Amino acid sequence: MVEKHRFRWTAEDKKKENLDNVAKDILYKNLDKNMFTKIKTCSTAKKIWEKLTQLCAGNDQTKENKLTFAIQKFDNTEMKLEETLSEFDERFSGIIIELIYLGKEYLTVKFPCR
């Protein structure tokens, strides 16, 4: 791909460049210093987003490990003695949201009697 010189840019090219700069600015403002150092060499907002996705989601093996761990948390979930029903619901809902994020959905949930 050959890049155009700025003096040959059309109005559409200028608009796209401006939108890319706005997107990069939003991404930069929402990153901590550690994450910023990992993406600072990316030249476009799209490349920044792809890098962040890769860093946060991980590779297939990482995703599989996260899913396995989340399933174990789900399977071993019990209400603690000192926990209120509201606290348990919040904790359990967090586990369900994590599973959905990782691609696993439970349509019905049955708790065994203990």
Task: Give Cα separations from 69 to 9, 73, 100 (angstroms).
Answer: 51, 6, 13
Domain residue ranges in the chain: 6-57, 60-101
Q: Give CA–CA dist 106/89, Å, rounded.
A: 16
Q: Could you tell me where the DSSP H helices lie in 8-59?
A: 11-29, 33-39, 45-57
Name the amino acid, one letter, at 108. T
Q: Give CA–CA dist 71/61, Å, rounded.
A: 15
**Position with higher pLDDT, 51 vs 5:** 51
Chain mean pLDDT for the chain: 85
> pTM here?
0.49
Q: Token pair of 60, please?
A: 């297939």
Cβ–Cβ under 8 Å, residues 4 and 13? yes
pLDDT one-digit tens code per residue, 25-75: 999 998 888 889 999 999 999 999 999 888 877 777 778 888 899 999 999
Q: Token pair of 95, please?
A: 């586990």
Q: Give CA–CA dist 58/1, Å, rounded.
A: 29
